[in-house]
Structure 1
Amino acid sequence: MPSFHNGEVEIAYLDEGEGDPIVLVHGFASTKNVNWVYPTWVSELKRNGRRVIALDNRGHGDSGKLYDAAAYDVATMAGDVIALMDHLDIESADVMGYSLGSRMTAVLARQQPQRLRSAVFGGIGIGLIEGGGPGENVAAALEAASLDDVTDPVGRTFRAFADQTRSDRLALAACLRGSRRLMTRDEAASIEVPVLIAVGTTDEIAGSADALGKVIPDAEVLHIPNRDHMRAVGDKVYKAGVLDFLSRRK
């Protein structure tokens, strides 16, 4: 698996296919494989004539592990995406995030719009601005000796997922504590790149897609029927909606 260094942090990535580039940014406690390869996003996008780039975020997968929460500021993590694009000599690309990956993508859409042809915010709605996602209960669950010691239901969900993906739980706890900064309403309202917001209708983590759609000018909203935060990732409605959105960017 190829990798490069952004400063002292090694970032693992995949780069497959030919055509217009799209960069995929996975969610908290996930990996490029779990979020994008196994649910067939990579193969589907390649079949549709796209060059697909996906990274393991710092602290995740095969990328470098850091244990200081300050190393996981959302803007810092978003900087790894731009560093990867620079490493691959990609001037501009469509970028699709999921959950935390969407928070990172939103930062890029606001701060470096010239690098994004469009942005897909998967698994995040008004939670981008209000709520802040997983809290200290999840960090504590990640640091617990075993899943049996975790009683908080949300904490158990994330701990079980981290165990399933064989993640470095202490690095994830640091990431969670460092990446909590919310985007302000004014910051979100200043996003001018084309945006698709895609959220499962039973997702209790993302917050309302429609509410965020009213904040970001001209954003499109895609409701993924009967899917929660975890199960929306590979849904066929999600894929079809994203492919339609991307086809209209040409």
Structure 2
Amino acid sequence: MNLDAPPFSSFRHNRLDLYYLDEGDPAGAPVLLIHGFASSALVNWVHPGWVKTLGEAGYRVIAIDNRGHGLSDKPRDPEAYRPWVMAEDAVALLDHLRIPEAHVMGYSMGARISVFLALAHPHRVRSLVLGGLGSGMTDGVGDWDPIADALLAPSLDDVDHDRGRMFRAFAEQTRSDREALAACIRGSRDLVAEADMGRIEVPTLIGVGTKDDIAGSPHKLAALMPNARALDIPGRDHMLAVGDKVFKKAVLDFYAEH
């Protein structure tokens, strides 16, 4: 399945071993990719073709396995997964690679982490791409406790909550540590105040599938920001929007501008 997987390296931060890939043109403008909940750098960025697409466009492509995901260490304490904590992991990776500033692109939970990164370290972010999360960034995305319960249920057959079943099946497909994911979903849901969104001045693209019932409106979120635009990804839900060709073309065009 992972025959085409690029090599991963690791670094240590906050007593955790965190893994990442570093592909594309070493001299190109760096793009830091931050994946979504229950995913990984491979599932979110390699398999849907993002690493290949950005690398062929001349960028240096860096993707982290967030704590609790992929190859990285997996703490079981929900407090370890606050979005500002995971944002510091991403900044530590930039430090490790001696990269002063990067384009930052996050999907779903990774979009939330990216916003906390941009608020805490604005000088490290050249631009933002937020995928799979619109007004849910500030308004919330519903009750996710049933998803934690679904992840810890004895089997998928014991789960009758629709969204819980979807994420439990996804976690099984990606062979994830379900106990770590349950801690993550309980700890990573902090909202961003609307006024704080207004403090993010870097160019921002917000892409959400038109059939996404999790993310909320990209237009509503973009309206809070001084330099943001919204992208409707036609006919795609939360899971399928990430690799969509309309999304990829919009991101390449956006980067060409900035």
Task: Tell me the TM-score normalised to structure 1 length.
Answer: 0.98
**Residue 7 (str. 1) matches residue 20 (str. 2):** no
Contact 1:133–1:206 (8 Å) recurs in 2? no
Does 2:157 match 1:139? no
Q: Which residue of 1 aligns with 2:96?
A: 87
How far is 1:132 from its partner? 3.8
Aligned partners of 1:32 and 1:177: how far apart in 2?
21
Corresponding residue for residue 4 of structure 2: none
CA-to-partner distance for each residue in 1:106-140, whole Å, 9 max, x for gaps?
Answer: 11112211000000000010000012456101000
1:133/1:246 Cα in 2 relative to 1: closer, same or farther (>3 Å)? farther
Kept after mapping to 1: 8 A contact 2:148/2:185? yes
CA contact (8 A) 1:32 1:61 kept: yes
1:199 to 2:208 alignment: yes
Find the aligned partners of 1:111 and 1:2 in 2 and give their Cα distance. 26
Residue 235 (structure 2) pairs with residue 232 (structure 1): no
Residue identity in the other structure for 2:10: S
TM-superposed CA distance for 1:218, in Å, is 2.2
- The aligned length equals 249
- Report the residue type matching 1:3 in the other structure: S
Helix, strand or coil for the counterpart of 1:125?
coil
Paired residue for 2:190?
181
Residue 216 of structure 1 is matched in structure 2 by: 225
Q: SS at the partner of 2:61?
A: strand
Answer with 130-139 or 103-112: which moved more.
Answer: 130-139
Task: Report deviation, 1:180.
Answer: 1.1
| 1:168 correspondence with 2:177 | yes
* Aligned counterpart for 2:35 among listed residues 19, 26, 37: 26
1:17 corresponding residue in structure 2? 24
1:64 to 51, 69, 73: 73
Per the alignment, do residues 134 and 30 of structure 1 end up closer, same or farther by CA in structure 2, a change over 3 Å counting?
A: farther
Identical residues among aligned pairs (%): 55
> What is the match of residue 49 of structure 2?
40
The secondary structure found in structure 1 opposite 2:20 is strand
Corresponding position: 1:149 with 2:161? no
Counterpart in 2 of 1:114?
A: 123
Q: Following TM superposition, where does structure 1 have runs of at least 4 consecutive aligned residues deviating by more than 3 angstroms?
A: none
3-state SS of 2:242 partner: coil
CA deviation profile, 1:129-179 (whole Å, cap 9, x unmatched) = 012456101000000010000000010000000000000000000001011
User: Structure 2 vs 1, CA of residues 77 and 134 (structure 1 numbering), >3 Å: closer, same or farther?
Assistant: farther
Kindly indicate whether the alpha-carbon contact (under 8 Å) linking 1:132 and 1:181 is maintained by their aligned counterparts in 2.
Answer: no
State the alpha-carbon separation in 2 of the partners of residues 153 and 118 from structure 1. 35
CA RMSD of aligned residues (A): 0.8
